[in-house]
Structure 1
Amino acid sequence: MLTPTLASLLPPLLLLCRISSGQYSSDQCSWKGSGLTHEGHARDVEQVYLRCSQGSLEWLYPTGAIIVNLRPNTLSPAAARLSVCIKPSARSSGTNVYLDRGGELRLLLREQDQARGRAQCFGIQEGALFVEAVPRADISRRITAFQYELVSERPGAGPHSPGAPCKPCSDAEMLLAVCTNDFVARGSIKKVEQEEEQTSVTVGISRVYRQKTQVFVPGGVRVRTWTGRIHMPPQCGVRSGEGEFLFTGTVRFGEAWMGCAPRYKDFLRLYRAAQQQGTNPCHVDTD
């Protein structure tokens, strides 16, 4: 199967690139633009530069194409290992989204797939986003909109999924997850719901060690418990189980995704052994 190239879609004489004229939001690095600004030049390619860890894009009445360059606001060796996740709005339409690497295009999201609102992730080195309008006579109701996040790749996790890998974590990964993940909490599994594109696990939490955003909410004033939902890829086949677990993971677009989740007694044994050897990457209050 041949991969289309930027040059084949847009002949050289018509490949007119210019700096984006859209509007930027300084607090979240968002961009909002309109295809009406170059409606008479349907083959124009507009360059958009976003240099933040998260933000959004909204393109009204899309015509032609835009290239969205997503980069961190600081340069470091770790930047090469970043992943980019985008989550289209349920109302997003009017374009197909490709990855553009050196003029070679790889399809990432078809127009009809965007309404599902499913996050798509890729390595930052895989290229920029090439967002191409689907030619139509009437563009008045077409809006392409998505959120984006730049995230650090975790050991063992591929860049193409917002969720965690299904394989068990190694001892080293488990100890590191407790120190670095977006949330760490001790609790039990209350309910497992299998959905088409993900598994949702309802958890009851007895102790929250850390949470980047409030993915676990208090269960009451007098009782110190929390509840929440953690997502996993459907192929992981998680089931309800008795006992306490240590839930760790990442937060993507306000949703918690499971990382390492050992039984708490197993984590405690591992943590205390590492503590005796002086190899713990951080301190955890296990009292």
Structure 2
Amino acid sequence: MIRRILLSVFTVIVMGRGSAIQYTSDLCNWKGSGLTHEPHKKEVEQVYLRCAEGSVEWMYPTGALIVNLLPNTLSSSDHLTVCIKPFKDSKGSNIYLEKTGELKMLIQDGEHAPQKVYCFAQDQGVLFIEATPQLDISRKITAFQYELISRRTLSDLHAISDPCQPCSDTEVLLAVCISDFVVRGSITGVTNDPEQQESSIAISVNKLYRQKNKIFQKSKDQESWEGQIKTPLKCGVRAGQGDFLFTGRLHFGEPRLGCAPRYKDFQRIYLEAKDNGLNPCEIDTD
């Protein structure tokens, strides 16, 4: 019964598309207001975004939005995963995946956990955002960040799909080539946040191979680098002795831990692959 009601609502909304279509001039981000709708009409706005990352903010939600993510920055042949991260106080709408008229619930209004990220394959459909009935819409804002990621990268780095699973030798070698950061260093401390279900890992870096967005900064004595990266609390990371090769990627602006073998293990993996001509890229192993 509920499914039939949702599909009926979707059909009515789609019929109103022509009078409600609006486009954003910002290709990465969209911000709009439901107050542009006439309250008695079931209207939908079509939103087209063409970046690999950005945000959507819908104030005073009424009617519905269809968000089309069509990035110019990624190859059309890429198999893409879409991830969305609701803002802390996001409310006022249900978010579905819509494909050929079928609606599948992704996030129910008011039920998302803090910092939770929702991911799905791009070919599963577009985002259909339907405002929920409200007596007072004045304080409601539906808002989230989005990212589009190559499924190959997502799988190889474990940053989202399986962050606590140890990497295979092949995954370690590939992570060195494609990660947003690659450093050799040690863990100096771990701060756990049970509410956010996150661990923040403090790292002292003695060799910086690559990084984006200045994740690691020079220490006060200027002799090393230091910074913090995050991983799920359930992974149980602890401070300890020894050097590791830390790899990972930026996810919603935060560095997330990918493969992190002990450095001596990485040296063995890399040198064996090099001897067999199987290393996908070159790196200095001292």
- Separation of aligned partners in 2, 1:159 and 1:126: 22
- Separation of aligned partners in 2, 1:13 and 1:236: 44
Within 5 Å, which residues of 2 pair with 1:35-46?
A: 35-46=34-45
1:269: how far off?
A: 1.4
Task: Please say if residues 86 and 147 of structure 1, whose CA atoms lie closer than 8 Å, have aligned partners that are also in contact.
Answer: yes
Which AA in structure 1 matches 2:91?
Answer: S
Q: Cα gap change, 1:224/1:8 in structure 2, threshold over 3 Å: closer, same or farther? A: farther
Partner of 2:123: helix, strand, or coil? helix
Show CA shifts across 1:16-59 (max 9, x none). 22474143324xx2112111121335411221111111111111
Show CA shifts across 1:178-207 (max 9, x none). 000111111111222333322322222112
Within 5 Å, which residues of 2 pair with 1:162-173?
A: 162=160, 164-173=162-171
Q: Cα gap change, 1:230/1:14 in structure 2, threshold over 3 Å: closer, same or farther? A: closer
Within 5 Å, which residues of 2 pair with 1:246-265?
A: 246-265=245-264
Partner of 1:131: 129
Which AA in structure 2 matches 1:218?
Answer: K
CA-atom RMSD in angstroms: 2.7
Structure 1 stretches of 5 or more lacking a match? none
Partner of 2:69: 70
Partner of 2:54: 55
- Separation of aligned partners in 2, 1:65 and 1:13: 7
1:249: how far off?
A: 0.8
Partner of 1:268: 267
Which AA in structure 2 matches 1:33?
Answer: G
Task: Please say if residues 231 and 258 of structure 1, whose CA atoms lie closer than 8 Å, have aligned partners that are also in contact.
Answer: yes
Q: Cα gap change, 1:223/1:57 in structure 2, threshold over 3 Å: closer, same or farther? A: same
Task: Please say if residues 37 and 43 of structure 2, whose CA atoms lie closer than 8 Å, have aligned partners that are also in contact.
Answer: yes
1:286: how far off?
A: 2.3
Which AA in structure 2 matches 1:60?
Answer: M
Partner of 1:147: helix, strand, or coil? strand
Partner of 1:216: 216
1:111: how far off?
A: 2.5
Partner of 1:274: helix, strand, or coil? helix
- Separation of aligned partners in 1, 2:159 and 2:274: 33
1:224: how far off?
A: 2.7
- Separation of aligned partners in 1, 2:181 and 2:13: 51
1:212: how far off?
A: 2.0
Structure 2 stretches of 5 or more lacking a match? none
Q: Cα gap change, 1:161/1:174 in structure 2, threshold over 3 Å: closer, same or farther? A: closer
Partner of 2:246: helix, strand, or coil? strand
Partner of 1:24: helix, strand, or coil? coil
My pick for the range that moved more, 56-65 or 136-145, is: 136-145
1:6: how far off?
A: 4.8
My pick for the range that moved more, 2-11 or 83-92, is: 2-11
Task: Please say if residues 55 and 147 of structure 1, whose CA atoms lie closer than 8 Å, have aligned partners that are also in contact.
Answer: yes
- Separation of aligned partners in 2, 1:91 and 1:13: 26
- Separation of aligned partners in 2, 1:248 and 1:3: 44
- Separation of aligned partners in 2, 1:24 and 1:63: 22
Task: Please say if residues 181 and 209 of structure 2, whose CA atoms lie closer than 8 Å, have aligned partners that are also in contact.
Answer: yes
Partner of 2:94: 96
Matched, 1:9 2:9: yes
Matched, 1:152 2:153: no
Q: Cα gap change, 1:131/1:277 in structure 2, threshold over 3 Å: closer, same or farther? A: same
Q: Cα gap change, 1:94/1:154 in structure 2, threshold over 3 Å: closer, same or farther? A: same
Partner of 1:278: helix, strand, or coil? coil
Task: Please say if residues 217 and 226 of structure 2, whose CA atoms lie closer than 8 Å, have aligned partners that are also in contact.
Answer: yes
Matched, 1:286 2:282: no
My pick for the range that moved more, 143-152 or 15-24, is: 15-24
1:157: how far off?
A: 3.0
Partner of 1:176: 174
My pick for the range that moved more, 241-250 or 114-123, is: 114-123
| TM-score, L = length of structure 1 | 0.87
Partner of 1:266: helix, strand, or coil? helix
What percentage of aligned pairs have identical amino acids?
A: 50
